[in-house]
Structure 1
Amino acid sequence: MTKKIFTTSGIEIDELYTEAKAITEKPGEFPFTRGIQPDMYRGKLWTMRQYAGFSTAEESNKRYHYLLKNGTMGLSVAFDLPTQIGYDSDHELAEGEVGKVGVAIDSLKDIEILFDGIELQKITTSMTINATASILLAMYIALAKKQGADLKQISGTIQNDILKEYAARGTYIYPPKPSMRIITDIFEYCSKELPKWNTISISGYHIREAGSTAVQELAFTLANGKAYLKAALETGLDINVFAKRLSFFFNCHNNFFEEVAKFRAARRMWAKITKDLGATDSRAQQLRFHTQTGGSTLTAQQPQNNIVRVTMQAMAAVMGGTQSLHTNGFDEALSLPTEEAARIALRTQQLIAFESGVTDTVDPLAGSFFVESLTDKVETEAWKLIDAIDAMGGAVTAIEEGYIQEQIANAAYQYQKDVETGERIIVGVNKFQVEEPPLGEVFRVDDSIRTLQIQKLEKLKYERDNEKVRASLEGLKLAAKEGTNVMPHILQSVENYATLGEVADVLRGVFGEF
């Protein structure tokens, strides 16, 4: 008897597929299984993004210019941990973390340096930021205004997905309900002032990095998305307006066909969710998504093997119809990527786009008995999890009760067990190992960065109009208490050079900490 084989989500794979449900819909038509554009990449390639941000704004600015010169179409900003959780670089809790996992941003001054020589109206920027997303977005808007940009033309994305922080990552500040309120304030503000800005990137990426399966990533991400839709509807926003500015952020792992099936199922499921909640505009029913190759799949052993892993994952994302893609550097299991690794990662996307031929036709795997059957099975399994979450009262309750966290932890444990028993082979880790020399030079960020940032903060607080700062922060406090939209007040505060920590502290004072 043939050994049973399963996907990473536990879906059994048949030895041979001889039939599948016929697809009748066309690309660009509800429920968008085959893609959101009728011509997909024949009309426009996906945006090739490279994620960067480390040390100071000055250092990150140099890397941005390097990436733009090498053909990157969009920038993607990584922020350090203090910035992510609303502390300035001079806060005692920031010690040892300034500039480490991303760029340190303390005020509008840092944003001005970060994008020095870059016209915001001519690029798209994605910011991986959640609890302090409103503050970083306000700084970006303030800089765009100073550059004389037309805010109606500014495009980009803030991650702004706080629910997955409670479930998988941990960089939250306020309790879930006030956090959801800030997010709906951003939806409302941007629908009027920045109509082309993607106000949230509902992120399965970090759910997957925390150890979920592909099916769990899909289900929990869409359940969170549903919670954001409902929160916005409850505040009286029009789903046909705000749902157009929602985007998603998925991971792409090594199981090629399961990943393609996941992306195709995601579009179909989201189309149904939005339609059931009242969306009638086809653009409000479309799931648009960014993909990043799987950071947790990269190995420190034989790091060059990661170039192949990233290529397979990037190809699956393209075959699945992504709108935007980031490819990881091969050395990221060891350190922040070097310039060489960042260039190879970008060239990987360019090779797929211009040499592989996979962009020549829309949804090239459509009609494959295997892919169509797997798309159906992934969808069926994901609906089971969403139904369980709905029965609890939605994603917020499921997170508060620990259901989602427990599901992810169990999947992560099972995966690790399979690797350790050899049930799952990781090339170079538990099979095909070689003797490797000790590590050479890896990219490190120096702790002296904090001293530089503290000096900048001292200078800023001496030179700015502190009376204006106090008045604008007072206005923010009042808005937070009274329930009016906080965004105009955050924007005014950062324009007066209030620091990120000062703004976050005002909101901490009103909402408390979680």
Structure 2
Amino acid sequence: MNEIFNDSSFSREVIDKIRAEEKDWEANEVAQFLRKQAESKEQFFTLGDFPVKRTYTAADLAETPIEDIGLPGRYPFTRGPYPTMYRSRPWTMRQIAGFGTGEDTNKRFKYLIAQGQTGISTDFDMPTLMGYDSDHPMSEGEVGREGVAVDTLADMEALFEGIDLEKISVSMTINPSAWILLAMYVVLAQERGYDLNKLSGTVQADILKEYMAQKEYIFPVEPSVRIVRDCITYCARNMKRYNPINISGYHISEAGSSPLHEAAFTLASLIVYVEEVLKTGMEVDEFAPRLAFFFVCQADFFEEVAKFRALRRCYAKIMKERFGAKNPESMRLRFHCQTAAASLTKPQYMVNVVRTSMQALAAVLGGCQSLHTNGYDEAFAIPTEDAMRMALRTQQVIAEETNVTQVIDPLGGSYYVETLTADYEKRIFEILAEVESNGGTLKLISDGWFQKHIADFAYETALRKQSGDKPVIGVNRFVDNQDDPEIHTHPYDQTTAERQVARTQRVRRERDAEKHEALLKKLVEVAKDPSENIMPVTVELVANGATMGDIVETLKDVWGTYRETPVY
């Protein structure tokens, strides 16, 4: 057996001695104390339902191979993807922003950059997410309300006006229409004379988690996965520093899943995407170094740290052992993290600052590469400038004042954290094996398997909150009957839709109509041939003034749309 404790100090004899001492402690000191004061529960669990022992010792790590823990920047990257981590530079502080028109959000970007933000993260409104132009009937009342409205390249130009895209990393939170936004970003960079290989950032693009959890999809699963494949291969060949996908567990968690299912389901999606790209003939080491991830950081502090460590280890093993990756860069899981929006409350809303701070610290101790901290007012509306400044200052305090960045993986070696990391790895691989044995990710999405697991845990969590078994300060514990101080939320500008629609209609009038129709016909031909990459023709279309709706509606005629079979 390959043991972590394989020197004379931690021989099998010593491990047995530790176990015997722990048993004696339980029978004497613990039993005697419990007769005087009982514990608050008969059994303790993590937020994700992992049983938690009273204490952990070296004996709990006896079965953990030493190479599975390893060193930062070395396979299997449990302790971090890079050898110096935050000692070289802190994580990217990427506060998400998006509302109104491109000009409106551009002002927020510049404000946050002036406050010390080191990366841009962009939220798009619901019509943009779903591929509707702002003047489509389905967009009424939603234009620029919960994100920035982008219909055409002109909107992208306004969004990033005055911002050097070669010097700042840009993330775009977009899913079924992701490739169109990526095409607009490419054309904008080309217009400015940028080197595409110097652009950094990511487009979320992960469509499978939409069918599992968030439900923002347009096309059936197969063509949607094809689009993701095309984004990955296009960027691997044309944008060497750009992450063409953020494979996302965040939305799986926000839909109500357990932390374990967040982790395992995300890796199930990864496997599909890698297999699809490999079918094109591209080698795994050509594209895997630019795959990136997006996870939530929930309230269970040590569980979240262990989850992130286990995810790195699982990913490294999948890429090396399953897909034959040879380049260490292909095995390094890099992830953006966001604190848990679902944990924010309206009652006693300033307590959200504390929640977010604890979650952000866990994300940092878990080794994130970039981080968004939620605003204290996000349970009401998109955050105000004051809330975003406080959220950014939270990150800056952790980075500059706490000294937690001085030591890499400072919780590594904790008996509890290492045990929970190993437990997570084991359970993740068990779930992945179950997925494969039952027909694979795409089949189980169609069957509603993922959706049922998420819904079941969400329902159980709701019951626990209702009963008080899951404490929520200000909601079911320490409820204050006094009214909270008045909160000033971010206002919605009623002129947004009018301003946005005017620009979209101007672009339609001014574009080359004949060339536009020819390119739409070309798009149809490309869409019908699954061996073709859809990105180049999309780049041509947006450069010629095509709207997002033009492209999406054309492809609906080719591929159809997706309707989920409800699962009860």
Specify the TM-score bucket, using the shorter chain as the normaliser: over 0.9
Which residue of structure 2 aligns with residue 101 of structure 1? 146
Indicate if the aligned counterparts of 1:96 and 1:447 stay in contact, CA closer than 8 A. Answer: no
Which residue of structure 2 aligns with residue 71 of structure 1? 116
Letter in 2 for 1:349: Q
Q: In structure 2, which of residues 37, 51, 72 is the aligned counterpart of residue 12 of structure 1?
A: 51
Where do 1:9-408 residues align within 5 Å?
9-19=48-58, 20-21=60-61, 23-24=66-67, 25-275=70-320, 276-408=322-454
Which residue of structure 1 aligns with residue 553 of structure 2? 505
CA distance in 2, matches of 1:474, 1:453: 27
Change in Cα spacing, 1:260 to 1:496, as seen in structure 2 (3 Å) is same
Letter in 2 for 1:424: K
Cα deviation, residue 470, structure 1: 1.5
CA distance in 2, matches of 1:156, 1:441: 32
Cα deviation, residue 485, structure 1: 1.1
Cα deviation, residue 441, structure 1: 2.8
Where do 1:427-438 residues align within 5 Å?
427-434=473-480, 435-437=482-484
Indicate if the aligned counterparts of 1:265 and 1:379 stay in contact, CA closer than 8 A. Answer: yes
SS of equivalent to 2:296: strand
Cα deviation, residue 374, structure 1: 1.0
Q: CA offsets, 1:385-407, max 9 Å, x none?
A: 21111112221111111000000
Q: CA offsets, 1:407-457, max 9 Å, x none?
A: 000000011100100111100110111111474432132343222222112
Q: CA offsets, 1:123-180, max 9 Å, x none?
A: 1100001111110000001111111101111111010000000111111111000111
TM-score by length of 2: 0.89
Q: CA offsets, 1:24-75, max 9 Å, x none?
A: 4111111110001111111121111010000111110100000111111110
Letter in 2 for 1:423: D
CA distance in 1, matches of 2:521, 2:232: 23
Q: In structure 2, which of residues 533, 537, 547 is the aligned counterpart of residue 485 of structure 1?
A: 533
Indicate if the aligned counterparts of 1:98 and 1:447 stay in contact, CA closer than 8 A. Answer: no
Cα deviation, residue 112, structure 1: 0.4
CA distance in 2, matches of 1:244, 1:33: 17
Indicate if the aligned counterparts of 1:327 and 1:345 stay in contact, CA closer than 8 A. Answer: yes
Identify which of structures 1 and 2 has the higher relative contact order when contacts are C-alpha pairs closer than 8 Å and 6+ apart: 1
Letter in 1 for 2:541: S
Letter in 1 for 2:427: E
Which residue of structure 2 aligns with residue 446 of structure 1? 493
CA distance in 1, matches of 2:262, 2:229: 23
RMSD: 1.2
Indicate if the aligned counterparts of 1:51 and 1:77 stay in contact, CA closer than 8 A. Answer: yes
Indicate if the aligned counterparts of 2:348 and 2:484 stay in contact, CA closer than 8 A. Answer: no
SS of equivalent to 2:93: strand
Return the index of the structure with the highest Cα Rg: 2
Letter in 2 for 1:247: A
Which residue of structure 1 aligns with residue 466 of structure 2? 420
CA distance in 2, matches of 1:160, 1:234: 19
CA distance in 2, matches of 1:237, 1:180: 16
Letter in 2 for 1:175: P
SS of equivalent to 2:383: coil
Which residue of structure 1 aligns with residue 23 of structure 2? none
Q: CA offsets, 1:276-335, max 9 Å, x none?
A: 221111111111100000000011111111111111001000100001101110110011
Indicate if the aligned counterparts of 2:109 and 2:120 stay in contact, CA closer than 8 A. Answer: yes
SS of equivalent to 1:120: coil
CA distance in 1, matches of 2:179, 2:484: 46
Tell me, yes or no, if structure 1 residue 471 matches structure 2 residue 518.
yes
Indicate if the aligned counterparts of 1:175 and 1:511 stay in contact, CA closer than 8 A. Answer: yes
Cα deviation, residue 269, structure 1: 0.4
CA distance in 2, matches of 1:407, 1:447: 40
CA distance in 2, matches of 1:467, 1:319: 56
CA distance in 2, matches of 1:359, 1:245: 25
Indicate if the aligned counterparts of 1:119 and 1:147 stay in contact, CA closer than 8 A. Answer: no
CA distance in 2, matches of 1:414, 1:350: 36
Q: 498-507 vs 471-480, which deviates more?
A: 471-480
Where do 1:448-463 residues align within 5 Å?
448-463=495-510
SS of equivalent to 1:359: helix
Name structure 1 gaps, 5 residues minimum: none
Indicate if the aligned counterparts of 2:347 and 2:474 stay in contact, CA closer than 8 A. Answer: yes
